[in-house]
């Protein structure tokens, strides 16, 4: 089976946070950044990450210890678990909104 290509702009949300991830995939390697915005106060945090993609599975990590483990469940849909450095886990559903990641 050919590897799923996770390249693109992905959107998700968790409670009062909007998450936009910009992913570039080259072979089995992924890199990118995610912007997490607090919708109540407008504060934004940017997390640069690296990882791997194999088949429908994606695994990404941030240098601070945050990780995302997920799986593509449709052409533009992925489900996964975001784990913080302290072990808190959040289930996320992400939708690809563009096949092109944002530059930068």
pLDDT of residue 98: 95
Burial of 32 (0-12, 13-18, 19+ CB in 10 A): buried
Domain ranges, ordered by start, for the chain: 8-98
Question: Residue 33 is encoded by which pair of tokens?
Answer: 């950044």
pLDDT of residue 101: 87
The CATH superfamily assigned to 8-98 is Avidin-like (2.40.128.30)
pLDDT of residue 103: 59
Contacts 24+ apart (CB under 8 A), 78-81: 78/6, 78/10
- With CA atoms as reference, report the closest residue to 5 among 80, 56, 50: 56
pLDDT of residue 23: 97
pLDDT of residue 1: 42
CB burial readout 44-80, b (16+ within 10 A) else e: eeebebebebeeebbebbbeeebbbebebeeeeebeb
Which segments of the chain have a pLDDT < 50? 1
């Amino acid at each position: 089976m050919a590897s799923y290509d996770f390249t693109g702009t992905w959107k998700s949300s968790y409670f009062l946070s909007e998450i936009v991830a910009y992913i570039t995939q080259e072979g089995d390697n992924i890199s990118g950044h995610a912007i997490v915005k607090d919708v109540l106060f407008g504060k934004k945090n940017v997390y640069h990450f690296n990882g791997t993609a194999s088949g429908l599975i994606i695994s990404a990590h941030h240098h601070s210890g945050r990780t995302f483990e997920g799986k593509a469940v449709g052409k533009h849909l992925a489900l996964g678990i975001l784990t913080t450095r302290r072990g808190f886990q959040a289930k996320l559903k992400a939708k690809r909104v563009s096949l092109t990641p944002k530059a930068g």
